[in-house]
Amino acid sequence: MNLPNKITLSRIFLVPIFMLFIIPIPKWLMNAEFLGGMHEQLVIINHFIMKNGNYIAAIFFIIAASTDGVDGYIARKRKQVTIFGKFLDPIADKLLVTAAIIALVERREVTGWSAMIIIGREFMVTGLRLVAAGEGIVISASKWGKIKTVMQVIAISVSLIPVSSFINFPIDNYLMLIAIIITVYSGYDYIAKNVSVLKHDY
């Protein structure tokens, strides 16, 4: 396995580590009989997660997000672009953002509507790419798609820290709103530029 693919895989492996620090242990598990002797320890862990977990999770998220683009750059520079890499890279990106958005919904720091729009857009574009691939057409990442990814990473990072509590201004909400607007527009841009794929008669 070449270096670019290893970097992409590392982004995927960082997702469960990120989730461990951002999502509290569920109550049903804390109260489970087979963990009865560990209840006090689990309460302490949960308290830590709720108080400080988001800061640690933010570090892992930013590290993982920063590898996006690095793997592609190295692959192109070293001429190590592979089919496996092309398959894995978008999955890693979507998995990271989806995990972060769901975790923020769990912590009630992002609305379900925001999550639905962001995740729904990814389903729509992925579906379009699958249809296009069936016709032998490759839909590459667009400028707006790249801007969308950058804006989502910024909005999620600020929501994780969270910056608003330090500056007494809901900057995380405004950044998330901007990210959602760009997400919707980038989805429209993909459809508008590739609508011919959907009009193909079989």
Across 191-197, average pLDDT: 82
Judged against a pLDDT cut of 70, whether residue 187 lies above it is answered with yes
pTM of the prediction? 0.84
Residue 178 exposed, middle or buried by CB count within 10 Å (0-12, 13-18, 19+): middle
Residues in the chain: 202
Residue 94 exposed, middle or buried by CB count within 10 Å (0-12, 13-18, 19+): middle
Q: What is the pLDDT of residues 64-95, one digit of tens each?
A: 998 887 887 787 888 877 777 777 887 888 89
Among the residue ranges 3-12, 22-31, 103-112, 176-185, the one predicted with the least confidence is 22-31
Across 15-32, average pLDDT: 87
Give the per-residue pLDDT at 185: 95
The span from the CA of 102 to the CA of 111, in Å, is: 10
Judged against a pLDDT cut of 90, whether residue 13 lies above it is answered with yes
The span from the CA of 59 to the CA of 17, in Å, is: 11
Across 19-24, average pLDDT: 90
Q: Give yes or no for a contact between 89 and 8, defined as CB atoms under 8 angstroms apart.
A: yes
